């Protein structure tokens, strides 16, 4: 039986979400009312029967470790395999590796010891609901060395500029990987590869002094290695900036887009908070809004997302905003086009208004 | 292993016949409450929050869902190396076996379970009530008074006292008399079905009771009267706070509606006394532009397009456009179509309410309607994978 192990490689992900990534890496940013960005990547692995997952963390991972704990929420508290959070604590004096190859080199035991014969490597910025078992089937029947996953997007947005794009021939073989801004085949930072080949490529990269495994070990080896392209058709969002975060969050208020990501047979798992159901009082007025549990809503909320435990007092007005965990909005405060990070307090009568294309972001634990 | 100071025994075998078809296929402690919980979440969360880490759950009637729900107890942090939660169904022994014949018999038959922890005290709980209670404070009172047994009591209105088991006490809180549903109550201190016994005393009385042929092997009818007869020291511990028996459709509905009061007596948002419950892993609820929601508790995974007023909505419920849900309790995964009117009703898990259905009577004192039977005209059973 084929088995897959997972690696979530955060090494090259930039913390581009301004205030939201002051204190945490992008993977730990809250998203979608009750999740963190990384929940989607890990849940995809859990739902694909991957029982061994390593997270290559580089910086600002305190919040990430707090969130992931022992992986119980993702069914990854396992005797065999399970979740490995691997921060950069390396003490090998013979180590000559650089870039993310430091991670591959110093954590090579994870790859050596796993019972899996295939490895899926993924980032955390591409929100999607994908089954890697399907990818593995296509990978095997294609006979390719590596299968990379891409999404053909309908429209290119600024966040896609930083993503790589694929040229794909009629046999779904990758002919080029580049940054052409007009190409809509967006590479999703995900690939599957046989364990032994991964190991060999890592060794080769380190010997050649490379610093980016995907670019130097896979992309640069075209056409010597056979790269297959797997087209993902489901819901997708690339979140690598405040603007893309804000726009893609708002997409969740569309039931069709929402259902592309949240499926009964492939749920998105996250850390459990044991909050009570949300309470809408007699004065509440809520419309087109996603609400997580533990909220108490007395005021007016429309076209917004409320995370767990948010309190909105009577007379407060919230529009087009994202309000993270445990924020308290006092009466007569007005918020429009705002992103409030966790634990913010907006006092009585305060007005904060951002632009629709450039939301006003308030860092964690501020009182205004 | 070190002995345990106090082990809890939770009586969860009840059928709850007065809950009608809600308990046709599940035991009463597994009945849903409060938009998210099952009744048994309350005593189990109380145990964890009170520092009691060893709980035996005595099951008998329709145990499948309860067994699955309790699992290894991790939901309530009761997955422990030594102790934790143990599900204790009736079992066979060399000398025979059979069903638990009464509440005392259920504990008696599990003497071995209790003996392995050598507890000093045993806390006996029922899975029928909604309340938040610090059993640790009651244990302190029990130990401080040197009682053989302590019974938790709550003051009930005098007019209602004849519906309860009433404890008559002396000036020091010592129980002098126990009246089961007295016609002329002498006190308004009702037993809450929460007992703490010194284990050596309880063990002796359970063994003696087991040998009595005419005993009904019940705590209220046999064990407590026997202790009183022998002048054992029984103390009443007065509990102040919200406590409700949800044994009937009306009381279950009322207890749910109590949560919607402006300052509910039972605070579910108290982070110091969380009520833990198994999580269904659903996305946040979505309130559509066409929705009108006021005075409601709504859980994850719901999609509300119609009107919800003064109601409790469990997880995974859909309310479609132009439908009205008022003064009602909608249990998990119910799908409500368009132009439906639901008033003063409890809709059980997984029901599908078809477009245009009218359920319940809106007039204020009308009977609460229960939709639980499969194949009714208005509601058909909903298969989760259809």
ipTM: 0.89
Using a CB–CB cutoff of 8 Å, tell me whether A324 touches chain B: no
Would the annotation count B326 as a binding residue? no
Q: Which two tokens stand for residue B220?
A: 């209220």
Instruction: Report pLDDT for B373.
Output: 60
Residue A342 pLDDT exceeds 70: yes
Residue ranges, CATH 2.160.10.10, chain A: 277-360
- A255 and B35: CB-CB below 8 Å? no
Residue where the block lists tokens 């029984």: B234
Using a CB–CB cutoff of 8 Å, tell me whether A282 touches chain B: yes
Write down the mean pLDDT value for chain A.
95
**What distances in angstroms separate CA B19 from CA B30, B35, B249, B344, one per listed residue?**
12, 18, 5, 16
What's the distance, Cα to Cα, between the start and end of chain B in Å?
Answer: 51
Instruction: Report pLDDT for B27.
Output: 86
* Backbone conformation region of residue A201, classed left if phi is above 0, alpha if psi is from -120 to 50, else beta: alpha
Using a CB–CB cutoff of 8 Å, tell me whether B35 touches chain A: yes
Facing residue for B291 by CB, picked from A32, A278, A287: A287
- B268 and A277: CB-CB below 8 Å? yes
Domains in chain B: boundaries? 4-258, 284-375
Q: How confident is the model at residue A62 (pLDDT cuts 50, 70, 90)?
A: very high
Average pLDDT in the A251-264 region?
A: 94
Instruction: Report pLDDT for B379.
Output: 44
Architecture of domain B284-375: 3 Solenoid (2.160)
Instruction: Report pLDDT for B384.
Output: 33
A:B CB pairs within 8 Å: 103
pLDDT digits 0-9 by tens, A68-93: 999 999 999 998 899 999 999 888 88
Instruction: Report pLDDT for B13.
Output: 84
Tell me, which fold does domain A277-360 have in CATH?
Answer: UDP N-Acetylglucosamine Acyltransferase; domain 1 (2.160.10)
> In this structure, what is the dihedral angle of CA atoms B277, B279, B280, B281, given to the nearest 10 degrees?
160
- B269 and A279: CB-CB below 8 Å? yes
- 10-residue mean pLDDT profile of chain B (386 residues): values are 88 80 84 96 96 94 90 94 93 84 93 95 94 97 96 93 91 91 92 96 96 92 94 96 92 96 92 93 96 97 97 97 97 95 94 93 92 55 34
Would the annotation count B165 as a binding residue? yes
Instruction: Report pLDDT for B386.
Output: 30
Lowest mean pLDDT among A315-324, A351-360, B15-24: B15-24
To 5 degrees, how large is the angle CA A319–CA A324–CA A325? 135
Instruction: Report pLDDT for B352.
Output: 93
pLDDT digits 0-9 by tens, A149-197: 999 999 999 999 999 999 999 999 999 999 998 999 999 999 999 999 9
Using a CB–CB cutoff of 8 Å, tell me whether A209 touches chain B: no
Q: Where are the alpha helices (DSSP H) in chain A?
A: 37-47, 62-68, 101-106, 108-113, 132-142, 195-207, 242-251, 255-261
Residue ranges, CATH 3.90.550.10, chain A: 2-259
- B281 and A286: CB-CB below 8 Å? no
Tell me, which fold does domain B4-258 have in CATH?
Answer: Spore Coat Polysaccharide Biosynthesis Protein SpsA; Chain A (3.90.550)
Same fold? B4-258, B284-375? no
Instruction: Report pLDDT for B382.
Output: 37
Instruction: Report pLDDT for B380.
Output: 40
Using a CB–CB cutoff of 8 Å, tell me whether A276 touches chain B: yes
Q: What percent of chain A has pLDDT over 70?
A: 100
Q: Which residue of B has its CA nearest to A259?
A: B283
Facing residue for B287 by CB, picked from A32, A267, A291: A291
Q: Which two tokens stand for residue B226?
A: 């026997």
- A280 and B279: CB-CB below 8 Å? no
Would the annotation count B386 as a binding residue? no
Highest CATH level, class, for A2-259:
alpha beta
What proportions of chain A, in percent to the nearest 5, are helix, strand and coil? 25, 30, 45
Interface of A with B in 54-83 (CB under 8 A): 72
pTM, rounded to two decimals: 0.91
Q: Which two tokens stand for residue B58?
A: 């005595």
- Whether B196 and B122 have beta carbons less than 8 Å apart is answered as yes
Helix or strand run (H / E) with residue B308? strand B307-313
């Amino acid at each position: 039986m084929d088995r897959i192990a997972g690696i979530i490689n955060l090494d090259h992900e930039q913390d581009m979400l301004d205030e939201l990534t002051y204190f945490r890496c992008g993977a730990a940013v809250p998203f979608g009312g009750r999740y963190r960005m990384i929940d989607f990547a890990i849940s995809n692995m859990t739902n694909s029967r991957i029982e061994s997952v390593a997270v290559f963390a580089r910086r600002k991972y305190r919040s990430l470790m707090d969130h992931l704990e022992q992986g119980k929420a993702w069914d990854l508290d396992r005797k065999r395999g399970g979740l490995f959070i691997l921060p950069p604590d390396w003490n090998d004096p013979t180590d000559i590796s650089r870039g993310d190859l430091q991670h591959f080199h110093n954590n090579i035991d994870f790859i050596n010891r796993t019972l899996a014969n295939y490895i899926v490597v993924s980032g955390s910025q591409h929100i999607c609901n994908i089954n890697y078992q399907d990818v593995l089937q296509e990978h095997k029947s294609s006979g390719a060395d590596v299968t990379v996953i891409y999404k053909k997007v309908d429209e290119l947005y600024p966040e896609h500029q930083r993503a790589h794009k694929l040229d794909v021939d009629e046999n779904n073989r990758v002919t080029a990987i580049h940054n052409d801004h007009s190409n809509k085949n967006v590479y999703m930072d995900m690939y599957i590869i046989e364990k032994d080949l991964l190991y060999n490529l890592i060794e080769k990269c380190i010997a050649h002094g490379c610093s980016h495994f995907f670019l130097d070990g896979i992309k640069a080896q075209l056409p010597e290695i056979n790269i297959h392209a797997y087209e993902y058709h489901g819901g997708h969002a690339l979140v690598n900036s405040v603007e893309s975060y804000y726009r893609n969050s708002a997409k969740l208020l569309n039931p069709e887009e929402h259902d592309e990501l949240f499926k009964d047979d492939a749920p998105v798992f996250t850390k459990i908070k044991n909050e009570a159901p949300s309470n809408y009082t007699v004065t509440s007025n809520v419309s087109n809004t996603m609400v997580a549990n533990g909220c108490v809503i007395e005021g007016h909320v429309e076209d917004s997302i409320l995370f767990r435990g948010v309190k909105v007092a009577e007379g407060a007005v919230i529009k087009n905003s994202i309000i993270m965990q445990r924020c308290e909005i006092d009466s007569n405060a007005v918020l429009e086009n705002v992103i409030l990070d966790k634990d913010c307090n907006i006092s009585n009568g305060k007005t904060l208004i951002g632009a629709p294309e450039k939301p006003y972001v308030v860092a964690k634990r501020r009182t205004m | 292993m070190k002995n345990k100071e106090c082990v809890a025994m939770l009586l969860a075998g009840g059928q709850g016949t007065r809950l009608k078809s809600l308990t046709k296929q599940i035991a009463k402690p597994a009945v849903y409450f409060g938009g998210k919980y099952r009744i048994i979440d309350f005593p189990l969360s109380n145990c964890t929050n009170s520092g009691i880490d060893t709980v035996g759950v005595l099951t008998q009637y329709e145990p499948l869902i309860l067994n699955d729900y309790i699992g290894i107890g991790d939901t309530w942090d009761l997955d422990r190396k030594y102790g934790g939660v143990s599900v204790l169904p009736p079992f066979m022994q060399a000398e025979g076996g059979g069903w638990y014949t009464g509440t005392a018999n259920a504990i008696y038959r599990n003497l071995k379970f209790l003996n392995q922890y050598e507890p000093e005290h045993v806390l006996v709980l029922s899975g029928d009530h909604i309340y938040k209670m610090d059993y640790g404070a009651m244990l302190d009172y029990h130990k401080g008074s040197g009682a053989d047994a302590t019974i938790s009591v709550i003051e009930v209105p005098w007019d209602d006292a004849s519906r309860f088991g009433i404890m008559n006490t002396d000036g020091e809180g010592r129980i002098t008399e126990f009246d089961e549903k007295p016609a002329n109550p002498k006190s308004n201190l009702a037993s809450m079905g929460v007992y703490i016994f010194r284990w050596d005393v309880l063990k002796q009385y359970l063994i003696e009771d087991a040998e009595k042929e005419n005993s009904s092997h019940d705590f209220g009818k046999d064990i407590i009267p026997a202790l009183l007869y022998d002048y054992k020291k029984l103390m009443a511990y007065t509990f102040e706070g919200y406590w409700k028996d949800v044994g009937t459709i009306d009381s279950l509905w009322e207890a749910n509606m109590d949560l919607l009061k402006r300052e509910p007596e039972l605070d579910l948002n108290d982070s110091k006394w969380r009520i833990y419950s198994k999580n269904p892993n659903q996305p946040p609820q979505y309130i559509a532009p066409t929705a009108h929601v006021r005075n409601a508790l709504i859980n994850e995974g719901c999609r509300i397009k119609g009107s919800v007023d003064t109601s409790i909505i469990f997880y995974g419920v859909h309310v479609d456009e132009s439908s009205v849900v008022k003064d009602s309790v909608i249990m998990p995964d119910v799908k409500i179509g368009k132009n439906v009117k639901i008033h003063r009703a409890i809709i059980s898990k997984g029901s599908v309410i078809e477009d245009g259905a009218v359920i319940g009577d809106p007039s204020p004192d009308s009977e609460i309607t229960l939709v639980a039977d499969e194949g009714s005209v208005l509601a058909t059973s909903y298969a989760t994978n259809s």
